[in-house]
């Protein structure tokens, strides 16, 4: 999928290792599905030996900020990370896949143990560790493989370790997701990079994602939290694959100041940093939507003409979460009535008789609805437009200045297949 470029920014390779002073690694330590079910005497299916344990480390302490799932059920790592980040300082991340460490009596104990293992191996305080987990919910986390895997994990840390790390956080993801940009702050070239996992159980607010961001720009802790919240609300919180919000969602950012640039006030330097954060998260959000479980197409819905941005956001989200419309996109059927239906049940105030709808892709644009009523169009050309991998849904609901974009994907047979036997 193409990266969306931004002015005054250069996209670079390296993900979470693109910024100065950050090392990473990922290893296979063996948190297997067999370990999850062997107590019940159930024979587990063979598991591909992919990396399942990752680490990101800064050479120096960082200011840090995070956002978490809004689900009332929250994974134990979130409780531990919240406590560790109360002082706005962190220096390393340890994260596992396969097991979410959620709804377990010993969950907090094991999340704290992961922090302790990382801290001892790195010579840090365990309160300076961010811990995260993703995978099956409600199964005890086997800690023994993690204990055995941490020495190898730390030994292999490198300034080029981003690929191994991003592979370790993937679950049903089919593609690694990482982005990095260079930007200017305080007259210095700074870098911000990130990696993300997310494919299913994705819905605002805070889609099922673990997202880790690093920057060599120094940023005041309160400004870092403010910028992260703004960027997440415009990106990760506007992605939906299936309407399910998970229990372990977390996005965190660490800023180590290695570029000798410091953002301490809401000025032009802050805006430059905030724009870089948006550029990275927006591209990661698009990657996540395109890689939705079983997906074949990325849907990008732009709503304009609203009385305010919030109204536009509500409408755009309503369209990309419609199961009926998502199924129509999979079938490459320009069933615009399903769009208007989703617009109509959006909990926002606007005049439905002023709604215009168009569909677009690399093959062209076709207008399907004007002032709330259908237009004559070529079904053959519509099919051609919808045959592309990226589909735009363009909606106008009036002449206001409010606008918003949201991302989703089509709903396919494979989504049911993947989730019909997720634990096996």
3-state secondary structure of 203: coil
Query: Which of the two residues, 296 and 350, has the higher pLDDT score?
Result: 350
The predicted pLDDT at position 223 comes to 98
Domain-located, residue 54: yes
β-sheet bridge partners, residue 293: none
Stretch 122-131: mean pLDDT, rounded?
A: 98
Task: Decide if 4 is inside a domain.
Answer: no
Q: What is the rounded distance in angstroms from the CA atom of residue 245 to the CA atom of residue 222?
A: 27
Task: Give the pLDDT confidence score for residue 85 in this predicted structure.
Answer: 97
CATH number at 204 reads 3.60.70.12
Residue ending a domain, among 239, 261, 290, is: 290
Q: Which range among 137-141, 197-201, 349-353, 366-370 shows the weakest confidence by mean pLDDT? A: 197-201
The answer as to whether 5 is a domain residue is no
Residue 59 predicted with pLDDT over 60 = yes
SS3 of residue 183 by DSSP: strand
Same domain membership, residue 320 and residue 257: no
> How confident is the model over 340-353, as a mean pLDDT?
94
> 335: buried, middle or exposed (CB in 10 Å: 19+, 13-18, 0-12)?
middle
Same domain, 209 and 352: no
Q: Is residue 3 part of a domain?
A: no
Please report, for residues 157, 200, 361, 366, the alpha-carbon distance to residue 356 in angstroms, rounded to integers and kept in the order given. 53, 31, 17, 11
Say if residue 33's pLDDT is above 70.
no
> Which pLDDT band, with edges at 50, 70 and 90, does 45 fall under?
very low
Cβ atoms 63, 255 nearer than 8 A = yes
Burial degree of 317 (CB within 10 A; 0-12, 13-18, 19+): buried
Where is the domain boundary, 267, 290, 313?
290
For the stretch 409-420, pLDDT in tens is 888 776 666 666
Hey, what long-range contacts does 319-326 have (CB within 8 A, 24 or more apart)?
Answer: 319/343, 319/346, 319/393, 319/395, 319/406, 320/240, 320/393, 320/406, 320/407, 320/408, 321/203, 321/240, 321/243, 321/408, 323/243, 323/411, 326/299, 326/408, 326/409, 326/410, 326/411
239-to-320, 388, 412 alpha-carbon distances in Å: 8, 20, 17
- DSSP string for 206-257: S-S-EEEEEESSEE-HHHHHHHHHHHHHHTGGGEESSS---S--EEEEEE--
pLDDT by residue (tens digit) across 134-166? 988 889 999 999 999 999 999 999 999 999 999
Co-location of 206 and 323 in the same domain: no
| 306 and 265 both lie in a single domain | no
Q: What is the pLDDT of residues 197-242, one digit of tens each?
A: 875 444 555 545 899 999 999 999 999 999 999 999 999 988 875 5
In this prediction, residues 182-192 reach a mean pLDDT of 97
Neighbouring C-beta atoms of residue 252, cutoff 10 Å: 23
Q: What is the pLDDT of residues 170-184, one digit of tens each?
A: 987 888 999 999 999
140 occurs within a structural domain: yes
Whether 2 maps to a domain, the answer reads no
Task: Note if the bond before 21 is cis, omega within 30 degrees.
Answer: no
Tell me which of 290, 325, 355 is where a domain ends. 290
In a domain, 302, yes or no: yes
Percent of residues, the chain, with pLDDT higher than 90: 72
pLDDT tens-digit series, residues 79-99: 999 999 999 999 999 999 999
| Lookup: tokens for 385 | 């437009």
Task: Please indicate, yes or no, whether residues 306 and 285 belong to a single structural domain of this protein.
Answer: no
Q: Let me know how long the chain is.
A: 424
The answer to whether the predicted template modeling score (pTM) of the entire model surpasses 0.85 is yes
Tell me, yes or no, whether 146 and 172 share the same domain.
yes
Residues 234 and 122 in one domain: yes
CATH number for the domain that contains residue 406: 3.10.20.340
Residue 407 Cα distances to 179, 204, 280, 360, 363, angstroms:
18, 11, 15, 14, 19
Same domain, 318 and 405: yes
Same domain, 350 and 242: no
Query: What percent of the chain stands above pLDDT 70?
Result: 88
Which one has a higher pLDDT value, 324 or 302?
Answer: 302
Based on the domain organization, do 279 and 306 belong to the same domain? no
Catalytic residue among 69, 208, 235, 321: 208
| Long-range contact set of residues 364-372: C-beta below 8 Å, sequence gap at least 24 | 365/394, 366/334, 368/334, 368/336, 368/339, 369/336, 369/339, 369/340, 372/340
Pick the closest to residue 300 from 286, 282, 312 (CA basis): 286
* Boundaries of domain holding 400: 298-420
**Is residue 113 domain-shared with residue 245, that is, in the same domain?**
yes
Contact call for residues 16 and 130 (beta carbons, < 8 A): no
In a domain, 331, yes or no: yes
DSSP lists the bridge partners of residue 398 as none
pLDDT at res. 150: 98
More confident residue, 153 or 322: 153
pLDDT given at position 2: 66
What whole-number distance in Å separates Cα of residue 114 and Cα of residue 131? 7
For 69-168, list the strands marked E by DSSP.
89-96, 129-133
Q: Is 10 a catalytic residue?
A: no
- pLDDT at 424 > cutoff 50: no
State the DSSP H helix or E strand holding residue 65, giving kind and residue range, or none if neither: strand 53-68
Number of compact structural domains in the chain = 2
Considering just the CA atoms, what is the radius of gyration of the chain in Å?
A: 22
Co-location of 286 and 344 in the same domain: no
pLDDT band at 8 (very low <50, low <70, confident <90, very high): confident
């Amino acid at each position: 999928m193409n990266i969306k470029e931004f002015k005054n920014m250069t996209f670079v390779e390296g993900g979470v290792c693109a910024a100065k002073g950050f090392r990473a690694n990922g290893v296979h330590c063996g948190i297997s599905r067999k370990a999850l079910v062997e107590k019940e005497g159930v024979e587990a299916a063979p598991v591909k030996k992919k990396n399942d344990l990752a680490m990101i480390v800064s050479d120096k302490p960082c200011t840090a900020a995070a956002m978490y799932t809004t689900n009332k059920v929250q994974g134990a790592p979130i409780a531990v990370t919240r406590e560790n980040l109360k002082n706005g300082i962190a220096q390393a991340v340890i994260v596992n896949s396969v097991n979410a460490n959620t709804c377990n009596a010993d969950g907090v104990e094991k999340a704290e143990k992961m922090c302790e293992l990382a801290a001892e191996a790195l010579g840090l305080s365990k309160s300076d560790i961010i811990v995260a987990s993703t995978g099956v919910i409600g199964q005890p986390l086997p800690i023994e493989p993690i204990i055995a895997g941490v020495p190898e994990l730390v030994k292999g840390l490198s300034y080029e370790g981003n690929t191994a790390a991003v592979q370790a956080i993937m679950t049903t993801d089919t593609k690694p997701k990482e982005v990095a940009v260079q930007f200017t702050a305080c007259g210095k070239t700074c870098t911000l990079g990130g990696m993300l996992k997310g494919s299913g159980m994705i819905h605002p607010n805070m889609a099922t994602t673990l997202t880790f961001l690093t920057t060599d720009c120094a940023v005041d802790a309160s400004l870092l939290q403010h910028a992260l919240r703004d960027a997440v609300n415009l990106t990760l919180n506007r992605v939906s694959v299936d309407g399910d919000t998970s229990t372990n969602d977390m996005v965190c950012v660490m800023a180590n100041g290695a570029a000798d640039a410091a953002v301490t006030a809401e000025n032009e330097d802050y805006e430059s940093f905030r724009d870089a954060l948006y550029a990275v998260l927006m591209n990661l959000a698009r990657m996540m939507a395109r890689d939705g479980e079983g997906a074949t197409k990325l849907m990008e819905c732009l709503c304009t003409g609203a009385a305010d941005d919030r109204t536009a956001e509500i409408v755009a989200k309503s369209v990309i979460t419609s199961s009926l419309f998502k199924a129509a996109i999979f079938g490459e059927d320009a069933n615009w009535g399903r769009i208007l239906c989703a617009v109509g049940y959006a909990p926002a105030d606007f005049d439905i008789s002023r709604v215009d709808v168009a569909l677009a892709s690399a093959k062209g644009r076709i207008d399907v609805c004007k002032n709330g009523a259908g237009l004559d169009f070529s079904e053959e050309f519509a099919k051609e437009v919808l045959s592309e991998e990226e589909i735009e849904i363009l909606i106008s609901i009036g002449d206001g200045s409010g606008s918003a974009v949201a991302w989703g994907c089509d709903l396919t047979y494979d989504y049911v297949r993947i989730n019909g036997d997720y634990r096996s």
